[in-house]
């Protein structure tokens, strides 16, 4: 088993995908968060609006952005702001066994305001094997969910005829939504 190190600030483990703990014991997510104070958010919002204008009518499917949503506050807020910008998002979720009633309610709220949504469900026995294996190997059950979310972005972009022109909520430009 790998040596698990926890961030001294937020307690994320270094076993979470893309998390690196620096020599001061702080993870890259916390470092990036503290760097947000240095960003010119007005400039980022202008750049985001240019991208939105460019992509609004590019997709043949009628959707112009794909957003993996968990039902949590971040992806719900991102979807809401895409709607405010006039985008037509297609959202999708991996229905994991740890989904909370609040998360489910948030997903239903998005659907009720007109957001199209796809929910993926994995065979529970296969899912349990993946989760147990990743927990034993890395101390986290969330890794299969993260990988599935990334691959469903690609799968849905092909299904919806996206040609690399769409805006995905994982884009760094999405951070500009903090200013809306």
Boundaries of every domain in the chain = 1-38, 51-179
Instruction: Answer yes or no: pTM beyond 0.75.
Output: no
Residues 6+ apart with CB under 8 A from 120: 92, 93, 94, 95, 148, 152
Element (H, E) at 118: strand 116-120
What is the mean predicted confidence (pLDDT) over 118-123?
81
Q: How far is CA 148 from CA 26, 121, 142, 161, in A?
A: 27, 10, 10, 20
Architecture of the CATH domain 51-179? 3-Layer(aba) Sandwich (3.40)
Distance CA 101, CA 29 (A): 27
Distance CA 87, CA 85 (A): 6
107 by Cβ neighbours in 10 Å (0-12 / 13-18 / 19+) ranks as buried
- Per-residue model confidence as pLDDT tens digits over 17-61: 889 999 999 999 999 999 999 999 999 999 999 989 888 877 667
């Amino acid at each position: 088993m790998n040596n698990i190190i926890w961030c001294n600030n937020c307690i994320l483990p270094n076993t979470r995908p893309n998390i690196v703990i620096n020599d001061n014991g702080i993870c890259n997510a916390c470092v990036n968060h503290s760097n947000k104070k240095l960003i010119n958010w007005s400039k980022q919002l202008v750049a985001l609006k240019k991208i939105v204008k460019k992509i609004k009518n590019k997709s043949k499917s009628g959707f112009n952005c794909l957003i993996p949503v968990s039902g949590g506050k971040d992806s719900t807020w991102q979807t809401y702001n895409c709607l405010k910008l006039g985008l037509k998002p297609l959202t999708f979720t991996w229905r994991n066994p740890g989904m909370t009633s609040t998360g489910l309610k948030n997903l239903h709220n998005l659907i009720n305001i007109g957001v199209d949504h796809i929910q993926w469900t994995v065979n529970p026995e296969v899912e349990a094997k993946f989760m147990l294996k990743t927990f034993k190997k890395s101390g986290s059950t969330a890794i299969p969910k993260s990988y599935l979310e990334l691959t469903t972005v690609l799968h849905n972009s092909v299904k919806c005829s996206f040609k690399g022109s769409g805006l995905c909520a994982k884009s760094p430009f999405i951070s500009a939504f903090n200013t809306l």
